[in-house]
């Protein structure tokens, strides 16, 4: 705190002052020595203050570093805890017996039930279609049987006329002849082709209905003739076909009536699996949400760890800087004490 010229004066006079024994010194010399002593004491005090300040800042930096390390360790512990949560959520979602596996199992069971229902409905539709075909065939067969019956009735009326009524017999014979001629004309006009097609369809239908093969083989021959040209065997074939189709139609009616409880049972089976499938989907969605939440928490904890690591690095750098500052202050104080202060104390 002294001006430079005072310092220079004291330095220049210090050697002459200290070179005189204390008992022989003049009061003026003693004042100079005291001033130098005060100056050195001020230097020592400032060196001590600097060292104490550096030590206090070092302690503060060390405390901040310890706090940063604790925060980092806590963040690392959170990351580990969230990692365990993520692993647990993934196990609940994707592990054995997890939500995904349960949902897939319920979907598989539902698919099997729906497939059973589909096959059952297909069988019902097939039986109904077969019943419709049988009904249509019976209608076609019944029309043919009607024509046959009319032809037979005409023949019986003609034969009952007797030999004594020639004119009446001839008239009765001419009527069937005219009818047969008209029928042959219709036959030649495309009825033959239609009957051949119908004969194939009838044979296929009869085979599907379980009609005896010997009867099925006779169907084309019976259907390939005009009604007036049918033989007694053809008529028997048509009659047996009609009976067979009627019997199968009754059987189909019974089967269709029996399928209603089965259809309801299949529908109930499908409905019973839809509930668990919906519950499994909800559980999977909840597990997915929990996993997403856990992963987000883990990412946040990892970001916090990075921030804490950076804070620890800054605190460590500050501690190193303050430790160096404290060492410099301590060295300066030690140098002052070992040098000027020690020498001044000896010569004072």
In eight-state DSSP terms, residue 225 is S
Higher-confidence residue: 337 or 140? 337
- Written as six digits, the tokens of 74 are 């806590």
pTM of whole model > 0.85? no
What integer is the mean pLDDT of 59-83? 93
Cβ-Cβ contacts under 8 Å for 72 (sequence gap 6 or more)? 305, 308, 309, 311, 312
Distance CA 74, CA 81 (A): 10
In eight-state DSSP terms, residue 19 is T
Q: Concatenate the DSSP letters of all residues of 144-189 into one string.
A: HHHHHHHHHHHHHHHHHT-SS-HHHHHHHHHHHHHHHHHHHHHIII
Could you tell me the pLDDT band of residue 129, with boundaries at 50, 70 and 90? confident
Could you tell me the pLDDT band of residue 167, with boundaries at 50, 70 and 90? very low
CA angle, residues 331, 336, 338, in degrees to nearest 5:
90
Q: Tell me what pLDDT residue 288 has.
A: 94
Cα dist. 143→138, 149, 163, 304, 320 in Å?
A: 8, 10, 33, 93, 116
232 in helix, strand or coil?
Answer: helix
What integer is the mean pLDDT of 104-116? 92
Q: Tell me what pLDDT residue 172 has.
A: 42
**Out of 93-107, 279-293, 324-338, which region has the weakest mean confidence (pLDDT)?**
324-338
**Quick check: 234 and 221 in contact, CB under 8 A?**
yes
In this predicted structure, the answer to whether residue 114 has a pLDDT above a threshold of 50 is yes
Q: What is the mean pLDDT of the chain?
A: 80
Segment 186-232, tens digit of pLDDT: 545 566 677 777 778 778 888 888 888 888 888 888 777 776 677 77
In this predicted structure, the answer to whether residue 147 has a pLDDT above a threshold of 60 is no
What integer is the mean pLDDT of 255-279? 88
In this predicted structure, the answer to whether residue 165 has a pLDDT above a threshold of 70 is no
Could you tell me the pLDDT band of residue 285, with boundaries at 50, 70 and 90? very high
Q: Tell me what pLDDT residue 173 has.
A: 41
Higher-confidence residue: 277 or 344? 277
């Amino acid at each position: 705190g002294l001006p430079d010229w005072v310092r220079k004066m004291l330095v220049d006079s210090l050697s002459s002052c200290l070179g005189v024994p204390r008992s022989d010194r003049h009061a003026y010399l003693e004042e100079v020595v005291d001033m130098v002593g005060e100056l050195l004491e001020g230097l020592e005090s400032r060196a001590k203050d600097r060292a104490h300040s550096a030590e206090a800042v070092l302690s503060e930096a060390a405390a901040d570093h310890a706090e940063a390390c604790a925060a980092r360790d806590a963040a690392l512990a959170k990351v580990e805890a969230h990692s365990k949560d993520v692993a647990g959520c993934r196990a609940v979602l994707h592990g054995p017996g997890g939500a995904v596996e349960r949902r897939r199992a319920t979907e598989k069971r539902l698919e099997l039930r729906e497939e059973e229902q589909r096959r059952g409905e297909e069988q019902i539709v097939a039986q109904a279609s077969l019943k419709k075909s049988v009904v249509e065939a019976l209608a076609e067969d019944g029309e043919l049987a009607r024509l046959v019956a009319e032809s037979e009735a005409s023949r019986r009326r003609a034969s009952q006329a007797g030999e004594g009524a020639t004119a009446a017999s001839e008239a009765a014979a001419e009527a069937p002849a005219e009818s047969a001629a008209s029928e042959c004309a219709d036959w030649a006009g495309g009825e033959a082709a239609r009957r051949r097609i119908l004969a194939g369809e009838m044979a296929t239908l009869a085979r599907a209905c379980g009609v005896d093969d010997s009867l099925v083989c006779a169907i084309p021959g019976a259907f390939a003739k005009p009604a007036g040209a049918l033989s007694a065997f053809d008529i028997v074939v048509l009659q047996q076909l009609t009976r067979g189709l009627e019997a199968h139609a009754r059987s189909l009616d019974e089967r269709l009536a029996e399928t209603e409880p089965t259809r309801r049972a299949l529908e109930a089976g499908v409905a019973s699996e839809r509930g668990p499938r919906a519950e499994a989907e909800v559980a999977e969605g909840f597990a997915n949400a929990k996993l997403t939440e856990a992963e987000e928490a883990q990412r946040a904890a990892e970001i916090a760890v990075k921030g804490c690591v950076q804070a620890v690095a800054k605190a460590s750098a500050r501690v190193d800087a303050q430790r160096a500052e404290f060492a410099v202050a301590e060295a300066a104080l030690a140098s002052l004490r070992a040098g000027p202060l020690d020498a001044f104390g000896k010569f004072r």
